[in-house]
Amino acid sequence: MHDVISFEKVSFRYPDEENWTLNDFSFAVQKGSRVVVTGPSGCGKTTLLYLCNRLYPDNCDGILTGNIELFGKDSRTFIAGEINHRIATVFQDPDAQFCMQTVEEELAFTLENLQVKREEMENRIKEVLALTNLTDFRYSIIQQLSGGQKQQIATACALIMEPEILLLDEPIAHLDPYTAKRYIEWLDQLQQNRQMTIVAIEHRLDLWGDFFDRIIPLSESDEPSILPKRMTSIKPEISIQATKIETKTFLKPASFSLQRGEITILAGPNGSGKSTLLKALCHLIPRNGLIEPTFLGYVPQSPEFLFLTKTVQDEVAYGGGYGVDNMLQRLKLMDIAASHPFSISHGQKRRVAIAAMLCDGREVILMDEPTSGQDAAALSELYQLIDERAHDGTTFLIVTHDMEFAYCLADSIILMEDGSLTGKFPALAVWENEKLLLEHHLLPPKGLMQCEKSFA
């Protein structure tokens, strides 16, 4: 097998940064192989992908040294856009790559850029939708879909180009556990059938099993830490009361209450309405119903939507909160405190948004996928911060597909399916109910299974 990607002593840094994001880095990827790149948040994983597909340095002012070869040819000799149909990319934030309103239009737009003949487009679109199990979404408006559904559509847009190399930046981060498992099985079959080369970025490899041939670590290792099962911090008084919260288009009337200091996980399949419910509670979308209190903190799935200032430090301090320096230190943001919040990694952006909300002193905090893009050290610190704040009386409602993180934190679980709130349950009642887990596309956490073995 010959090399399709080759880096020889490659260094790269952004124009406003003194430190090299990649420094004297060499590696090679053989045709048809499956490679995963791991490492702490902000260590340069996404930058590496962008050098592989020529997005960098073609579309930024970064400084690049060393030699990069793609398909045995100096990467600098490819003309603009030439490489992009041979190397397709699924970005960490799928919203960043959509241009059109509907799924069909997005797929057609991709083919138009490749100058595919109109008479060929219909078959190509049908084939890729069938391949990705998205036929029912052909005419859907992309921005009305869930983050996980968008991720699948972004993958379809990449595959419709029939690439030789597929670059994936945390492809299962926004997928529910069941869908993630199916996605990996489907990708495994697809790679075997098409003999594609796959290069992926991933923090957690537990769901991938033996999918990858090779692991390339950047910087120090990122072994998952074992988080302890926390002691409950629930206090008797009601902290949040939601009554018949609904939207006209999707969300059916949902009523629930959370107690002070309670940590509740909001879980369910992709597209079940979890993010919609959080936005409705915050009145970010039109809704009916009552919510008390109305002063809620919110960390969205796309954290950059919150950013208003020019530095990470100013962003965290923007709400006039307290303990800014301590929060920067604990969430591993001090080294980038002077950086622009749009210039940092996806995982770092998420931690900036979390830090800003934790410093803001809100009594109720809603978080949408806070663990996405986080390395083991950041997850451990986030767990401790949430635990501490809950014991101080802060109430949390957290959307996550990370069942290990949920198992360690949750007092209770609210389940959703098809726009409806299935119910609110004690956490253990969900973990031990196989039928409930299956119906909501969840897998039992490994922490529970290990605990059961230790008492067997």
Per-residue model confidence as pLDDT tens digits over 89-126: 998 878 878 999 999 999 999 999 888 998 899 999 99
Same structural domain for residues 114 and 245? Answer: no
Q: What is the pLDDT of residues 342-361, one digit of tens each?
A: 888 888 999 999 999 999 88
So what's the pLDDT on residue 456? 42
3 state SS of 441: coil
State whether 16 and 117 are in the same domain.
yes
Any domain includes 351: no
Q: Is residue 456 part of a domain?
A: no
Q: Is residue 317 part of a domain?
A: no
186, 217, 248 — which closes off a domain?
217
Q: Which residue segment(s) compose the domain that 248 sits in?
A: 238-296+362-440
Helix (H, G, I), strand (E, B) or coil at 146: coil
Neighbours of 256 (CB within 10 A): 18
1's tokens: 């097998």
Q: Are residues 167 and 244 in the same domain?
A: no
Strand ranges (DSSP E) for 278-346? 288-292, 297-299
DSSP state of 229: P
**Residue 246 sits in the same domain as residue 191:** no
Contact 172, 187 (CB under 8 A): no
Amino acid (1-letter code) at residue 432: E
Q: Is residue 447 part of a domain?
A: no
Helices (H), 31-163: 45-52, 55-58, 103-113, 118-131, 147-159
Task: Calculate the alpha carbon distances from 154 to 120, 197, 352 in Å.
Answer: 21, 18, 26
Q: Per DSSP, which regions of 322-376 are E strands?
A: 364-368
For the chain, give me the number of helices (H) and strands (E)? Answer: 15, 18
Note whether 281 and 400 are same-domain residues: yes
CB 319 within 8 A of CB 368: no
- pLDDT above 50: residue 217: yes
- At residue 35 the predicted structure's pLDDT band, cuts being 50, 70 and 90, is very high
**In this model, does residue 453 exceed pLDDT 70?**
no
Report the mean per-residue pLDDT for the chain. Answer: 89
Q: What is the pLDDT of residue 279?
A: 94
Q: Which amino acid is at 125?
A: I
Residue 146 and residue 279 in one domain: no
| Residues forming beta bridges with residue 68, ordered by sequence position | 7
Collapsed DSSP state (helix, strand, coil) of residue 291: strand
- Are the beta carbons of 223 and 377 closer than 8 angstroms? no
Q: Is residue 321 part of a domain?
A: no
Residue 69 belongs to domain with CATH number: 3.40.50.300
Question: Would you say residue 213 lies in a domain?
Answer: yes
3-class DSSP state of 410: coil
Grouping H, G, I as helix, E, B as strand and the rest as coil, residue 384 is helix
- Among 217, 248, 277, where does a domain finish? 217
Instruction: Using the predicted structure, report yes or no on whether residue 311 has a pLDDT greater than 90.
Output: yes
Burial of 49 (0-12, 13-18, 19+ CB in 10 A): buried
Residues 86 and 171 in one domain: yes
Taking only Cα atoms into account, the Rg of the chain, rounded to an integer number of angstroms, comes to: 22
Do residues 255 and 205 both lie within one domain?
A: no
Average pLDDT over residues 296-319: 90
Do 127 and 50 share a domain, yes or no? yes
Domain count, the chain: 2
Relative to beta strand 73-74, strand 63-70 is antiparallel
Judgement on whether residues 53 and 196 belong to the same structural domain of the protein: yes
On whether residue 346 sits in a domain, the answer given is no
Which of 139-143, 171-175, 436-440 has the lowest average pLDDT? 171-175
Query: Is the pLDDT score of 449 beyond 60?
Result: no
Residue 341 inside a domain? The answer is no
Q: C-alpha 296: how far from its chain's center?
A: 23
Only one residue has tokens 């990470």, namely: 312
For residue 137, give the DSSP letter.
Answer: G
Q: Are 115 and 260 within one domain?
A: no
- Exposure string over 136-155, b if 16+ CB within 10 A, otherwise e: ebeebebeebbbbbbbbbbb
Do 61 and 171 share a domain, yes or no?
yes
Q: What is the pLDDT of residues 360-379, one digit of tens each?
A: 888 999 999 999 888 888 89
